Amino acid sequence: MADILPIPPRILHHQVGTRLRQLIVEGAIEPGRKLNERALAAELQVSRTPLREAIKMLAAEGLVELLPNRGAVAAQMSARDVADTFEVIAGLEGQSAELAAERITDAELNEIRALHFEMLAAHARRDLPTYYRLNATIHNQINAAARNPVLTQTYRTVNARLQALRFRSNFDDAKWMRAVQQHNRMIELLIARDGAQLRLLLIEHLEHKRDAVLDQMAGVAPTAAEAVPA
């Protein structure tokens, strides 16, 4: 019988980080909540060492804040922070889209189309976690197709802070459907290689997400507890 090899610490803390990121993005750990190391280590079935490394990794991404005398808490943004950050990400996504329309290969486009159809299936099932992961992958692949490493690094840095908020922007069913319709149009414009229109659409798409998040923060849109998919 083959020996069971231990998972290298570097790989383990990345795996823990992936799971912890999911808990924060999907709202299992709410903004402002303290990260209880003992409880999280038990839930994730790991020791505190890789957990602490994962927390540091998410702090570098902006999903976690390390506060004096409080320890690690899930990041919480003010309405001003949200508006400012979405303003930046809208510009970055718009630029990514315009460049991608010029530079994307047929193979990359086919992969994005396949992901899009999977995303539509997740939406039809009202499976928001799967929908969001596919949605985020599509946005990342459009950015990658722009073939600009500086743009990609900047995009990743800014977008990391918004993952949880982008997930929550779909709690309102009408706004979720509008996002799906905009993604349908994105695919059409990518196929047409219409960078100018795709840029405008991505900016509009992110502005709608910003508005959905700000409405929720103001208490005029569904919260996670109210938005359980049927």
User: Cα(135)–Cα(110) distance, rounded to whole angstroms?
Assistant: 15
What residues make up the domain containing 43?
9-74
Q: Which are the contacts of 12, defined by CB distance < 8 A and separation ≥ 6?
A: 46, 50
Q: Phi first, then psi: what are they for 74, rounded to 5°?
A: -65, 130
**In whole angstroms, how far apart are CA 7 and each of 10, 89, 212?**
8, 36, 41
Is there a domain that residue 226 lies in? no
Q: Where residue 212 sits, what CATH number does that domain have?
A: 1.20.120.530
- Whose tokens are 């992901």? That residue is 115
Tens of pLDDT along 146-199? 999 999 999 999 999 999 999 999 999 999 999 999 999 999 999 999 999 999
pLDDT of residue 12: 78
d(CA 176, CA 197): 21
Residue 128 counted as domain residue: yes
The answer on 191 and 100 residing in a single domain is yes
Helix (H, G, I), strand (E, B) or coil at 34: strand
- pTM of structure: 0.84
pLDDT at 47 over 60: yes
Same domain, 115 and 180: yes
My answer on whether 119 and 202 are in the same domain is yes
> 61 and 47: one domain?
yes
